[in-house]
Structure 1
Amino acid sequence: MNSDHSAIEQRKSGGGLLSQPKAVWAVAFACVISFMGLGLVDPILPAIASDLHATPSQVSLLFTSYNLVTGIAMLITGMVSSRLGIKWTLLTGILFIIVFAALGGTSGTIGGIVGYRAGWGLGNALFIATALSAIVGLSKSGTAKAIILYEAALGLGISVGPLLGGELGSISWKGPFFGVSALMLIGFLFILFMLPKLPKPTNKTTLADPFKALGFPALLTLGIVAFLYNFGFFTLMAYSPYVMDLDEHGLGYVFFGWGILLAIASVFIAPWVQKRFSLVASMCAMLFLFALDLAAMAIGTVNGSPDTVIVAVIVAGLFLGINNTLITTAVMQAAPVERSTASAAYSFVRFLGGGISPWLAGKLAEWYKQETPFYFGAFMVILGVLVLWVRRRHLKHIDRTTAAH
């Protein structure tokens, strides 16, 4: 439980962000490669649609199957890791990603790719839920700095992924799938040889534990907010490539810029914001600015100005980077449960939003107008701000804990 870690946190929090054991760097490196897989497919979405004669909503099912399976599988990650241990859960997750990413590259139909992305999502769930708790548990510098390191790995992976995806995708849309598989094999070897065998938890986690964790109002609030703002996040990820009028290289560079801003904001700006403003005020401000940014994408689409959409997508990295670090830090302190359980419960709720939103964005464009998905995404993000503000009293203890560290 979180209270069990208080004495350890006091001893660890004095270490610098870069003063980490080899095991932490091994997991962080694997995280970079894992998160590359999220952005790697962005530059090739229009190419897949063109090659396989599919609509944007059909291609968006690549995100939907991936996110839905990731979210549902989050419920079993704690149960699996408490029995296999952290190291073998990470390795199992990576193995799933290696196999299903490679199979995705061999497929010639949208249905096949969507199915293989579901298997990829299962591996992703086992990996990312365990990786976060592993970095936090093994770090010498305390929870807040460990999470910044995790978010930095996320930002780096998300930024480099589209660049690599654009390069490989310009050869063939299959290239990024094989690229992820090869890179995750390297990550597998890093974890295998650099991560020591860690003791298994004394308490075995059950399937009911994540649902019990959501009984804590703070964790439920953060999950609902993430569920809602993921409608904006995945509208940006899964739909914006269709309205920027760019080839694979161009889309790769745009999402590289977005990811770089996300990484900079996560590592350098978010800690500054955390120290000076309350959690609720900071998150409300970032999400409100993100909603305005989505509205700017809609206006750019209406006016036939791809440049406006391009700039808005890149700028969004700033707001999302700060918000991601704030909400991830908060989740780790939201409820008196194991960190891995808190992460699994929160991720289950937020990935459900990530599962519905990509498909819905494509459908809204087919049913109404090209700009409708951006307006709807902005509306859902604003709804997240309202939920956060109405339920702000449940998060007061997190501000006090953050201030103490």
Structure 2
Amino acid sequence: MTTSTLQAPRARRAALAFIFVTVLIDFLAFGLILPGLPHLVERLAGGSTATAAYWIAVFGTAFAAIQFISAPIQGALSDRFGRRPVILLSCLGLGVDFVFMALATSLPWLFIGRVVSGVFAASFTIANAYIADVTPPDERAKSYGIVGAAFGMGLVIGPVFGGQLSHIDPRLPFWFAAGLTMLSFCYGWFVLPESLPPQRRARKFDWSHANPVGSLVLLKRYPQVFGLAAVIFLVNLAQYVYPSVFVLFADYQYHWKEDTVGWVLGLVGVLSVGVNALLIGPGVKRFGERRALLFGMGFGVLGFVIYGFANAGWMLLAALPFGTLLAFAGPAAQALVTEQVDAGEQGRIQGALTSLVSVAGIVGPAMFAGSFGYFIGADTPVHLPGAPFFLAAVFLGIGTLIAWRYTRRKVTGAAVVAPTTCPAPPRCRTR
């Protein structure tokens, strides 16, 4: 399949299917190691749970910090040399790195492996740029929703199988993850077409934009994109409440143990996949990106508020459908961003957005875990276990106001360079 054929609807659908499978395989691999990584850390720490907890925190912060630095570089490389080689390099690097972690015999070596995985974890970032290359503006939110479904499926199915494998041997999930990412590399090598033709690529690799600070400066060239970047940051920051405190909160508030929490998180994943795959496309087509964005964020605020007040497990379960509708926000915001950015800068813009998400991963866990610990502690002025969810609701509320402000203006054609001509210009504007 040549690059030029990607403009045909049938070829475009095939290219999106390739990206879906690539992202799904990558996140299946990451999901596989989630249950086993803490146990492998604990084993290498000599069985000390306290030492393992310290190292897990260090691993998480380091991974996010490396993503903050490397994402703009990956995006700039894809703008200059194309999306396909960066995706393939990501898959190959991750496959080798998973083998390295499977063989690690000490915590420092495992830490090095985790850092390297942060360097190569580029598939989701470049996938977003790839979609912008091959999809007309009025179909991008639907496509981002489908890729979001791949993300959800990977993080639902992966941990289930990873948990079973880690029960046999904590190193086994790493070997399976290595096999999956190598499979993704082979799949991409033989079937993944290039989406960015040479004539639309950046003329040179620009170091001034291939760093976190430079990439954020690049965002300021597009006023609406800069505002939407703040929205994407706040949405991701709010969602870090789940990995930061959900397990501890559920145990403290409802006395849920690991198996129950696993099933609840699986339910969250299933609902998320359903929203991404079935509702976002028709919803955005009917109401437009702007309304879909505000709709998702509004229900996200409602869901977090209910979680915060829920003093019984059934109340939290009843609120899950409301909170899951927050999934509308990401694809709608991404679609609005890509409509205003030149084709040769899509990779760098996506790298900049990934850097912001990484910042959320650095600061979010400390804020949410800290607020949870404070409001259940002996010295707290008010006993409020749901405080982290209220804090997440505040972040989303601020993001909703920013989204309302920065999406009021219509796109003026600033930088829309779609792979095909927009069939109906009014549909290509911001809703």
By how many angstroms is 1:213 displaced? Answer: 3.5
By how many angstroms is 1:62 displaced? Answer: 3.9
Computing the radius of gyration from Cα coordinates, the structure with the larger value is 2
Choose the corresponding residue for 1:385, options 393, 400, 414: 400
By how many angstroms is 1:276 displaced? Answer: 3.1
Matched, 1:191 2:188: yes
Go from structure 1 to structure 2 and tell me whether the alpha carbon gap of 1:400 and 1:196 turns closer, same or farther (over 3 Å shift).
closer
Query: Does the CA contact (< 8 Å) of 1:293 and 1:316 recur in 2?
Result: yes
Go from structure 1 to structure 2 and tell me whether the alpha carbon gap of 1:366 and 1:281 turns closer, same or farther (over 3 Å shift).
same
Specify the code of the residue in structure 1 equivalent to 2:404.
W
- 5 Å-filtered alignment, 1:2-401, equals 12=8, 15=9, 20-21=13-14, 23-37=15-29, 39-40=31-32, 43=35, 52-54=48-50, 59-106=56-103, 113=110, 115-125=112-122, 127-138=123-134, 143-196=140-193, 200=198, 201=201, 203-209=203-209, 210=215, 211-245=217-251, 249-300=259-310, 303=311, 305-306=312-313, 308-309=315-316, 312=319, 314-315=320-321, 318-336=324-342, 338-369=345-376, 370-394=385-409, 400-401=426-427
Equivalent pairs counted in the alignment come to 390
With the length of structure 1 as denominator, give the TM-score of the two structures.
Answer: 0.80
Q: Distance in 1 between matches of 2:316 and 2:49?
A: 25
Note the aligned Cα RMSD (angstroms): 3.8
Query: Does the CA contact (< 8 Å) of 2:237 and 2:392 recur in 1?
Result: yes
With the length of structure 2 as denominator, give the TM-score of the two structures.
Answer: 0.76
Q: Distance in 1 between matches of 2:193 and 2:365?
A: 38
By how many angstroms is 1:56 displaced? Answer: 6.3
Residue 3 of structure 1 corresponds to none
Q: Distance in 2 between matches of 1:112 and 1:346?
A: 30
Query: Does the CA contact (< 8 Å) of 2:12 and 2:134 recur in 1?
Result: no
Residue 4 of structure 1 corresponds to none
Unaligned runs of 5+ in 1: 1-6
Query: Does the CA contact (< 8 Å) of 1:86 and 1:130 recur in 2?
Result: yes
Unaligned runs of 5+ in 2: 210-214, 377-384, 414-424
Query: Does the CA contact (< 8 Å) of 1:56 and 1:362 recur in 2?
Result: no
Q: Distance in 1 between matches of 2:291 and 2:12?
A: 31
Go from structure 1 to structure 2 and tell me whether the alpha carbon gap of 1:316 and 1:156 turns closer, same or farther (over 3 Å shift).
farther
Q: Distance in 2 between matches of 1:379 and 1:65?
A: 27
By how many angstroms is 1:116 displaced? Answer: 3.1
By how many angstroms is 1:283 displaced? Answer: 2.0
Cα deviation digits, residues 45-65 of structure 1 (max 9, x gap): 886797641386863444433
Identity %: 20
Specify the code of the residue in structure 2 equivalent to 1:352.
V
Query: Does the CA contact (< 8 Å) of 2:71 and 2:352 recur in 1?
Result: yes
Q: Distance in 2 between matches of 1:317 and 1:179?
A: 32
